[in-house]
Amino acid sequence: MACVWNKVGPSPSRSGRGSSPFFCFMDAMSSRLPLLDALRDQVLLCDGGMGSRIQMLDLDLTRDYWGQENCTEILTLSRPELIREIHRGYYEAGADMVETNTFGGSPITLGEFGLTDKAREINRTSAILAREAADSFADGRTRYVIGSVGPGTKLPSLGNIDYDTLEAALTEQGRGLIEGGVDAILIETCQDTLQIKAAVNGMKIARAEMGTTTPIFVQVTVETTGTLLVGPDIAAATTVIHSLDVDLMGLNCATGPQEMAEHVRWLSENWPRLISVQPNAGLPELVDGQTRYPLSPEEMAVWVERFIVEDGLNLIGGCCGTSTPHIAALDAMLRRRAEGTGKHRPAPVARTSVWVPSVASLYTQVPLRQENAYFSIGERCNANGSKKWRELQEAHDWDGCVALGREQAKEGSNALDICTAFVGRNERAEMDEVIKRFTSSVNAPLVIDSTETPVIEAALKLHGGKPIINSINFEDGEGPAADRLTLARKFGAAVVALTIDEEGMARRPEDKLRIATRLIEFACDTYGLPQSDLMIDPLTFTIATGAEDDRKLGQWTLEGIKMIRDAFPDVQIVLGLSNISFGLNPAARAVLNSVYLDHAVRAGMTAAIVHVSKIRPLHMIAPEEVKVAEDLIFDRRTADYDPLQKLLELFADRKASEAVKRKRAETVEERLKDRIVDGDRKGLETDLEEAMAKMPPLEIINTVLLDGMKVVGELFGAGKMQLPFVLQSAETMKAAVAWLEPHMERIEGQQRGTIVLATVKGDVHDIGKNLVDIILTNNGYKVVNLGIKVPVADMIEAAKKEKAHAIGMSGLLVKSTVIMRENLEEISREGLDVPVLLGGAALTRNYVEEDCVAAYSPTGRVAYARDAFDGLTLMDQITQNGFDDYLAAISKRRAGKATRKNARTPEQAETRGYTLIDPTVARARRARMTADEPRLKPPFWGSKVIEAPTEAVIPFLNERSLYQFQWGFRKQGRSLDDFMVWAKQELRPILRRMLDLTAKENILRPQAAYGYWKAAGDGNDLILFEEDGVTEAARFTLPRQPREDGECIADFVRDVSDPERDVVALQVVTVGQKASDIARDWFEENRYQDYLYLHGLSVEVAEAMAEYTHKRIRAELGFSSEDSRDLDALLQQGYRGSRYSFGYPACPRLEDQHPILGLLGAERIGVSLTDGDQLHPEQSTSALVILNKHAKYFTI
């Protein structure tokens, strides 16, 4: 099962592992080399960025680069003394090892500069130069040289290069590095697990040729998206690397240490060997047009020390943006930790890790032992067992093959068995076609099923995950099994082993155990395959023939499973389950397979090749059917009872139970209704044409399509349909109506009713209003959408002109709710009595039904709409003359309740807490809050502008908020943890698609203006000063909690009477106007779902940019090391101090943003304030940043 490793030290040995002629792939782990011993004994320090140092030099393109711009490796030959001195500089800074100048040293990368033939020389010379620098010190300290192998410019999983070419090139690079005398080879900045396989295997071939046991290390680069570039998450990448038997795994590049923290912790808890971390100096950012890495040497040292203490690292260092000062800071930290030990380096902190034997797709890891279940291998992608698959393969319908694979994965298959062998076909060519597509398009581990070793090898060279080879046996002796085991060890694969030897297939349990024992000894002891990666198939045979010799076969297999499990608890046991029922009809097979599966699992089977959707839980099978199936399995015949005959009788006239699917409706009306509910536009026009032959277009809309939208509303209201799918249905409705419109006569009053919709004056938020527009429009109503910041006079004019049945007002802010009430008073003064619907995040039902109803005299025809479907229900009431009865019912219900006492209206809430406080009390409280606070020293006074790449901001994206609150996905009875697991599988692909789209079209442009001002508190006022500390730059009067010792933001800075000023930071961030413009275009183009996704994403990216900027402020003031490592905790104020945005209780006045924007020069990033004091563009935020540790959020 799982390997538990309690301390940093040698990884567990494999029992009985002996010698093998296939040495270069088996002897990959070298447990007794000096460097490995040193890493187990001490935390060692590697160097920083080579590029960072080279960029500091004044080099000439012709003289130094030999005309090969950006080819730093050529400097090894043209300016060896420079490279040697860079290495020496890192050694002098305290590094225990340096990496050779060969990051781009493969023949393929060098070939882009015409230097292919010099690759071996460059690598050998680079290693020699580093060794010369190491040997130039006479202090007796051991210094190491690490051969650097970068990812290159061509990735095999993306189809840029084939495996054999890549492996050959990297073998040549390895030869040069080993000839030059490196102490280890580091394959770094890895972005593709198939490239990792080629690199590791190339290095193994090279060291085997050279007769060395040079250790091999691998470092992967996890992007800000949480995966490697081609898609694997950290667990999938680790599963692949573990199977290649490298000595050390780590992380480098792409991000700073904080963004790596989650992945470092995962490695610490799961990876059972040595660990390294070499982060960038933070996430890069653009400052005044220049790329800058913000993390100081001291801050990096603090972060890396946390990794050492909490995660048990063995090797640390730096990557992009780091140079000798960073390495010197890390060296000082290590020396400090080693004080009193007699060594210059501390011992690694002991850690416990649990390695779970697994396989992996290109993207995700799947454990071979499933909790409370079995590892299911889908059987339908097999040309010998699936008629549907064979037909797809014969037609070269590869998309259809992919769809069938996805269907099985969706049904619950943990892996997919792929077999393309049948008579008259080119098995290898067609296996290649399938593996290439399944690797990239189906997120499930693959089982490569073939009797031909060349077919298996070709498939392995295309797949970046950890697959399963199906299969080996001894039918033709040990030769074919040896070949396939060699491939399994080389490419990192699990193996299915059938209990077949030279005498045939094992039928009796003792024969199954005998052959299984031989298979385990051969695969694990001779070829070094871990027992947990070996899947013994004890074989099962049909028990449905009626032949006397076959009656015991099912029982014998169960006994064989138990014997193998007892003897070898770590191996996996797999069955081709459906063989047990071969010859029966489908209904009987489904029952017998389900019952036999249950008994096999109880006997110790861990995996099954099976059609998952045909397996039924035993409680869903009739007890009589279960009993008869068990009687057949265990051969419980009597003189007058044969369970096989009884089973045949029970299922003589029955069909197999199928997964419940919606059948294609027989009538066109039902088909169209289903299309609306499912959001299915494919073939829509054909069904509409058929419907037009039976009824006029308007009748189709009113009696068929609107019925479908009604079902959509009911499903949404019951929590059974998510908002994005509601919009997908609306898009289909819109397309249907658009197709029908040319066939209709335009008749006045065809719509069910008309509503004027508007976001109130001063409010720029329109997502909620536009959702109402979509739902009402697609349910037959005419919507006059006036947009945002609409004066009430425009609403009144439009209502009169359109003879509107209702006015709908929307707004996000508390201030907007006050404007709504004022608008109602104005509409009333104009003598209109049109029903008004109010909606928005800050509204409450009580406020609408009391204050707003009272303001709309004399009739009070106002209603609260919680969401778009509430609005639809209310419009139905209005147009069907039921609205007044609805209001009367509300009035009657409220009359039976006590009148609210001391209730606060929105404007009262906005002014609450502004009572003056005794200055003496405020001063005393302020003294307590700031007594032990450090004196802050900002890097500059005033403001500056930064621009961050979107990918640098994404690590701070609040995915839960995006999915639940912006995109409207509901938990639907799931726990939050279960919801986020589901979201990772189902919603992250949407997020990645939207991120790719916004990047391609440059839709999002995260920018910030931020800066520092001297500050002091005076009563309830927060005062900002110019750099002289005397000239007042801005003053904010802030509310205080109306209780004894009540909180106020002004208390978190030193008092104005203090001779030394405190420091407050200001920030304003935006993603730019283009996001709003594109979203509006998509809304007009009826791309409702993408409109929702883009609007929500842009809102959350703006929030992420606020977090990013706030983090930068904490870093510049020296507090970033106090940040929580966990992103969820960080987003819940897992850091020092608080960021207070305007419009919230602690600083509610939006107008206070005017001085902030002025001080920051916010116009430089295109941010301004509307007449209603709201930020424009909409996706912008501003804040006061307080660094006092006592500063937390509070309400007034």
Sequence ranges of the binding site: 253, 319-320, 762-766, 810, 868, 1139, 1193-1194
Cα(225)–Cα(989) distance, integer angstroms: 11
Contacts with 865 (C-beta within 8 Å, 6 or more apart), sequence order: 772, 808, 837, 838, 839, 871, 874
What is the CB-side half-sphere exposure of residue 972 using CA atoms within 13 A?
Answer: 17
Cα(80)–Cα(125) distance, integer angstroms: 9
Known binding residues for S-adenosyl-L-methionine: 1139, 1193-1194
Cα(237)–Cα(604) distance, integer angstroms: 29
CB 1113 within 8 A of CB 1065: yes
Cα(377)–Cα(445) distance, integer angstroms: 9
Helix (H, G, I), strand (E, B) or coil at 852: helix
Report in angstroms the alpha-carbon separations of 232 from 222, 237, 240, 1093, 1137: 9, 6, 10, 24, 36
CB 480 within 8 A of CB 453: yes
Report residue 52 CA to chain centroid gap: 31
Known binding residues for methylcob(III)alamin: 762-766, 810, 868
What is the CB-side half-sphere exposure of residue 396 using CA atoms within 13 A?
Answer: 6
What is the CB-side half-sphere exposure of residue 606 using CA atoms within 13 A?
Answer: 22
CB 647 within 8 A of CB 632: yes
What is the CB-side half-sphere exposure of residue 880 using CA atoms within 13 A?
Answer: 9
CB 764 within 8 A of CB 739: no
Q: Provide the strand spans (E) within 208-280.
A: 216-220, 248-252, 274-278
Helix (H, G, I), strand (E, B) or coil at 810: strand
**DSSP-derived secondary structure letter, 617:** -
Instruction: Say if strands 1062-1070 and 1007-1018 run parallel, antiparallel, or are unpaired.
Output: antiparallel
Cα(255)–Cα(275) distance, integer angstroms: 17
**Token pair recorded at residue 921:** 């009390």
Cα(1040)–Cα(1145) distance, integer angstroms: 10
Considering only CA atoms, give the Rg of the chain: 35
Helix (H, G, I), strand (E, B) or coil at 304: helix
Instruction: Say if strands 942-947 and 1007-1018 run parallel, antiparallel, or are unpaired.
Output: antiparallel
Cα(1029)–Cα(1036) distance, integer angstroms: 16
| DSSP states of 315-331 | EE---TT--HHHHHHHH
Identify the helix (H) or strand (E) that includes residue 674.
helix 668-678
Give the residue from 169, 170, 181 showing the smallest Cα distance to 100. Answer: 181
**Token pair recorded at residue 266:** 């995962």
Known binding residues for Zn(2+): 253, 319-320
Cα(872)–Cα(778) distance, integer angstroms: 10
CB 229 within 8 A of CB 191: yes
Contacts with 744 (C-beta within 8 Å, 6 or more apart), sequence order: 696, 697, 698, 750
Give the residue from 399, 357, 363, 388 showing the smallest Cα distance to 375. Answer: 357
**DSSP-derived secondary structure letter, 898:** P
What is the CB-side half-sphere exposure of residue 113 using CA atoms within 13 A?
Answer: 20
Cα(743)–Cα(894) distance, integer angstroms: 49
Angle between helices 723-740 and 767-777 (to 10 degrees): 50
CB 118 within 8 A of CB 78: no
